[in-house]
Amino acid sequence: MVTFITMYYRVKTPALLPLLTPSCTWKVKRVSDTVFLTFDDGPHPTITPWVLDQLDAFDAKATFFCIGKNVAAYPQVYEEIIKRGHAVGNHTMHHMNGWITQRKTYLSDIDEAAKHISSHLFRPPYGKMTPFQMKALTQKGYELVMWDVLSGDFDVQLDPALMIQQMLPQIEAGSIIVFHDSEKAWPRLQKGLPSTLTWLREKGWKSNAYTK
């Protein structure tokens, strides 16, 4: 069942999208008790350390898709992510929208981010990239990691309790779940992440970093 939160995004990824974009990873198959938490748009000097502490408290691991300019600004936070055993991915240098950015400019921005982020994982900001960009990135050796469940923490009009209510029932074994370690998402993240981690523990599930 697909749940609508607003007119412009869905909590649960429509089943058709993975079929249309076979070069992208949307969910992990053949796992029975594991999900994959991911965090976009960091690192942030205070929010990311809070996220790391929450994950430690639940013995959970995650993947952080970092913006290059934020890594350059807060390298110590980026190093702490890695030190604590989490994975990282490239999220462009300047959070570029692939749909409105020329391929050469888009790829150059990713190359710039790669100077700060050592990873073969890539997630496009807003989930938007063209087929030409996808092809170029896979040829460069990137794995394009999307998601199965979108928390909606970036939606400033969304009540945190409603976010949790609509998100948790959509999580399945193998789900790749998106949160954001950003100021915009903070009012919802600070409630949604502990609730999600608690829910997973009660189900006997664990969160691993996606590193394939």
Does the pLDDT of residue 206 top 80, yes or no?
Answer: yes
Phi, psi of 34 (to 5 degrees): -135, 140
Q: What is the mean pLDDT of residues 72-90?
A: 98
Show the beta-strand stretches assigned E in 9-152.
24-25, 34-40, 62-66, 87-90, 121-122, 143-145, 149-150
User: Cis omega before residue 43 (within 30°)?
Assistant: yes
- The reported pTM is 0.95
Catalytic residue among 44, 116, 180, 181: 180
Query: What per-residue confidence (pLDDT) applies to 197?
Result: 98
* 40 flagged as catalytic: yes
Catalytic residue among 33, 40, 41, 56: 40
* 180 flagged as catalytic: yes
Does the pLDDT of residue 7 top 70, yes or no?
Answer: no
Number of helical H runs and strand E runs in the chain: 8, 9
Domains in the chain: boundaries: 29-207
Q: Which two tokens stand for residue 77?
A: 């936070």
Superfamily, domain 29-207 = Glycoside hydrolase/deacetylase (3.20.20.370)
Query: What per-residue confidence (pLDDT) applies to 212?
Result: 77
